[in-house]
Structure 1
Amino acid sequence: MAETRSISASSYNNVPAHHEKRLWYRTTFFNAFVIGGVGFMAPGLWNAMNSLGAGGAQSPFLINAANALVFGLMGFLCLFGGPIANRIGLNWTLLLGAVGYPIYSAALYTNNRYGNVWFVLVGAVACGLSAGLFWASEGAVALGYPEPAKRGRYMNIWLWFRTGGPLVGGAIVLALNHSAEAKDRGKVGYKTYLIFIALQCVAVPLAIFLSPPDKVQRSDGSKVKIVLQSSWRAELLELWRLSCKKEILLLIPVFWAAYFNQYSSNFQTYYFGVRARALTGFLSTPTPILASNRFTDPDKGYFATLFSSWLISRFLDYKGVSTKNRITYSFCYVIVLHIIAWVYGWVVQEKYTANPPTFDWTDKGFVEGFFVLVLWEFSRQALQNWLYYLVSTMTDNISELSRLSGILRGQESFSQAVSFGLNTRNWYGGRVPLAVNTILLGLAVFPTLLVIKNHVPIEHDKNASTKLESRDEEEGAVQNNVESGKGNCVTGETVATKS
């Protein structure tokens, strides 16, 4: 027999904060390092292998097919990752999201050393399923845990770690593949993968240290807002409602455009030798010098990704401009970056189509081709940071944020799957994938501007809990159903419970 009881529409963060002792492992700063550390060793090192071009293989076509499978499965799991995270908890979702990465690296190792093909596809399935859960949980934590005034800063910390994975991985690859014998085209040494496998295995237990949302301690005293649905069915209906919202549908083209360019992998295998690919994999991620949260010594080596992330994140947190204007101005900046990057990319590609080179790092034309990759990465990272910030201003509820970040990453994953599939063919001169990328970026501008025009950012009011406490005292006691293992609160729903 089932009975029904009503739950007050107040959410967990509306309960007045008590003077609780701040624990370092519950702070947003520590949790940013947990999510960053897992990102560093799992997808970060995965990106390091792909930054070699084709996962370090001699031919890009098998790896591109495997990556298409990874991102196709990842897209579906990202979409449903929000409801899964809301039901089993963000920390367990993050743990499951890290499991598949070392399996895929092991598959690349067996392919490199023994020519095994089937394990690459099995590893791609495992990685795709895990990655979908990882990205849905990671996005919710990176955007929902920090104080709203520090979202850009913490998003940058998360990005530093995740991009630090390719940086360290690139250094490992470069150290193992720098000899004169690696000047020509070919594949990297198989020992490279063993280090990656070992490091990615560490990411799994690290995810356990992520705090549940209800235990996170923000510096401003506010709580992470949690409003969960009462059942799997209700979660899926809420996901469908959110997916059908006008602004989400209008953002789908830019979700696709943000990560569609996977031709960069083929560009490297076509025009660079092995050790040049190792060097571009190392240098196309920045080597910043950090002191007091600022870049110092401008003459030393911070390149595309981290510098791009730092630059736009600093502006997105700038309080001298309203949130709406920050979003608008940043998007204009992103448009200008992409125009510069793709015009330059087209010019260089046409030159290489007419006379295909194979560059070593000692060759005169190496820098010209290298900057194609730098500019593509710089512009792409700015767009990704902007998109995550935009999504974070659409809600102040981490449960809904997990669904939104899952939708965002899901669409990005579908676009990457199509792009990797497109690049399984040896298109003459790369004109077809470049044309598709350029057209998609152009088509994404107008609908995104419509969203920005009508978007009203949700501003965080840390005094809301005091106001709602008075209202609740008049209406009756607030009932909160907090699931201790998940750190979740069911609110605003009619819940059927068995008796």
Structure 2
Amino acid sequence: MIERSNPSPDVVPPVKRLWYCTTLFNAIVIGAVGFIAPGLWNAMNQLGAGGAEKPYLVNAANALVFGILGFTCIFGAPLANRIGLSWTLFLGAVGYPIYSAGLYLNNRYGVEWLVLVGAVTCGFSAGLFWASEGAVALGYPEPGKRGRYLNIWLWFRTGGPLVGGAIVLALNNDADAKKKGKVSYTTYLVFTALQALAAPIALLLSPPEKVQRADGTKVIIKAEASLQAELRALWEVSTRREILLLLPVFWAAYFNQYVGNFQTYYFGIRARALIGFTSNFGTLLSSQLMSSLLDYHGVLVKRRIVWGFWYAVALHIVAWVYGWIVQEKYTANPPAYDWGDAGFVEGYFVILLWDFARQGLQNWLYYLVSTKTDNISELTRFSGILRGQESFGQAVSYGLNTRAWYGGRVPLAVNTILLGK
């Protein structure tokens, strides 16, 4: 008599796959929301200080955004595990158009209060967005394809600044935009309208139990029985040794907000628009290179992670050394470059290197976190902690950049110290 072995509890018999339940469809959903909401937000900030003439109000607002975002990211994980990832993603998208509307009123009429109100709503929304989006990107795909799907997600999210940069460049490329100043207010109207579409798209996300992977495995869900238990689990994850050791890396990954001041100090409006558009191609290339390395099956996962880390460190060393050289030159003789001026490429390359290095480290961090657990509920906590700590770093960084530090030496020094850690 032939005995039949019991199937693995994580594998289900073959069933007809529904396209809206596949990992690819769900990667497109979170990618689309990331494209429209934070992607266009990044496009505005790639102009330098959200396209403002002076960076200080917008930097103060962004410090508020990331201060709130840090707490919401961390405590958003228990909420996401209670109300579901789809509704968390929905709530995570609603605050972005309010922020853009505030920038519009400030740009056109000088109104400041809505910038700060928008910063508060965007901070709460963005925290929920990152807590849910990271969990979906890391937990929905089968383990052998995480690097690939992570890259799809990041391509979409980087595509937002790319398209947003094209919009900004199209609206700010006349002769008057050669000089330093602020971008056209029409730019913010377009961004606000587009960002309003993100929330309804978020509702298309499939719940984890309905996701259909190509290999037939199920998404592992081990949610806690109560909110109190969720908070206890969050505390246990937050105090794990490897998480505590990674905190300096989390902070260093996003501390470089000085790039916005660098653009407003040394480039005209249309030069900033061109930089915001074209620098995304370098970011996409960086994402592709790191994801290809991390998904290379010819090498053990642990070795891939080690190689990826040192590759990211090498990129940062090159970027910051070059940045210091150019900054010292600009401190002595501050320029105001248009894209046709001699010397424009030198300054542009500083920004390109900073963004290239940052994106490589971001990919590496998310991949590293994805290897810690296969449980989608725990991944929500991991991604919330990752984004929360990064956000605290950004809040301090934006706060630091609300002052006109002489030659940018103070923020550059802080970034260099974090790199050394």
TM-score range (shorter-chain normalised) is over 0.9
Task: Please say if 1:76 is aligned against 2:66.
Answer: no
1:16, distance to aligned residue in structure 2 (A): 4.3
Task: Please say if 1:176 is aligned against 2:171.
Answer: yes
Q: Quick one: distance in 2 between partners of 1:432 and 1:381?
A: 23
- Contact 2:135 2:379 (C-alpha < 8 Å) held by counterparts: yes
Task: Please say if 1:126 is aligned against 2:125.
Answer: no
The one of 183, 187, 203 equivalent to 1:188 is 183
**What's the counterpart of residue 156 of structure 2?**
161
1:81, distance to aligned residue in structure 2 (A): 1.2
Task: Please say if 1:260 is aligned against 2:259.
Answer: no
Q: Quick one: distance in 2 between partners of 1:81 and 1:434?
A: 32
Task: Please say if 1:403 is aligned against 2:377.
Answer: no
AA aligned opposite 1:77: T
Aligned-residue RMSD, C-alpha: 0.8
Q: Quick one: distance in 2 between partners of 1:262 and 1:438?
A: 13
Q: Quick one: distance in 1 between partners of 2:9 and 2:138?
A: 19
**What's the counterpart of residue 3 of structure 2?**
none
Task: Please say if 1:249 is aligned against 2:244.
Answer: yes
CA offset digits 1:377-433 (Å, max 9, x no partner): 000000000000000000010100000000000000000000000000000000100
Paired residues, number: 414
Cα 1:328–1:104 change in 2 (3 A) is same
**What's the counterpart of residue 345 of structure 2?**
367
Q: Quick one: distance in 1 between partners of 2:410 and 2:198?
A: 38
* 1:84-483 mapped onto 2 (5 Å cutoff): 84-286=79-281, 304-443=282-421
1:14, distance to aligned residue in structure 2 (A): 3.0
- Contact 2:105 2:111 (C-alpha < 8 Å) held by counterparts: yes
Q: Quick one: distance in 1 between partners of 2:135 and 2:283?
A: 21
1:18, distance to aligned residue in structure 2 (A): 2.7
AA aligned opposite 1:419: S
1:346, distance to aligned residue in structure 2 (A): 0.5
1:335, distance to aligned residue in structure 2 (A): 1.0
1:15, distance to aligned residue in structure 2 (A): 5.1
- Identity, % of aligned positions: 73
Q: Which has the higher helix share?
A: 2
TM-score by length of 2: 0.98
Task: Please say if 1:48 is aligned against 2:26.
Answer: no
Q: Quick one: distance in 2 between partners of 1:153 and 1:399?
A: 21
AA aligned opposite 1:186: G
**What's the counterpart of residue 292 of structure 1?**
none
CA offset digits 1:163-221 (Å, max 9, x no partner): 00000000000000000011111101111111101110111100010000000000011
Q: Which has the higher strand share?
A: 1
Q: Is there any run of 5+ residues in structure 2 with no aligned partner, and where?
A: 1-7
- Contact 2:373 2:379 (C-alpha < 8 Å) held by counterparts: yes
- Contact 2:10 2:217 (C-alpha < 8 Å) held by counterparts: no
Q: Quick one: distance in 1 between partners of 2:277 and 2:284?
A: 13
Q: Quick one: distance in 1 between partners of 2:201 and 2:373?
A: 28
Which of 1 and 2 has greater Rg?
1
- Contact 2:104 2:185 (C-alpha < 8 Å) held by counterparts: yes
Q: Is there any run of 5+ residues in structure 1 with no aligned partner, and where?
A: 1-12, 287-303, 444-499
TM-score by length of 1: 0.82
Task: Please say if 1:22 is aligned against 2:17.
Answer: yes
Q: Quick one: distance in 2 between partners of 1:168 and 1:182?
A: 20
Structure 1 residue runs of 4 or more that deviate by more than 6 Å after TM superposition = none
CA offset digits 1:233-252 (Å, max 9, x no partner): 00000000110111111111
1:315, distance to aligned residue in structure 2 (A): 1.1
- Contact 2:145 2:295 (C-alpha < 8 Å) held by counterparts: yes
AA aligned opposite 1:339: I
SS in structure 1 at match of 2:92: helix
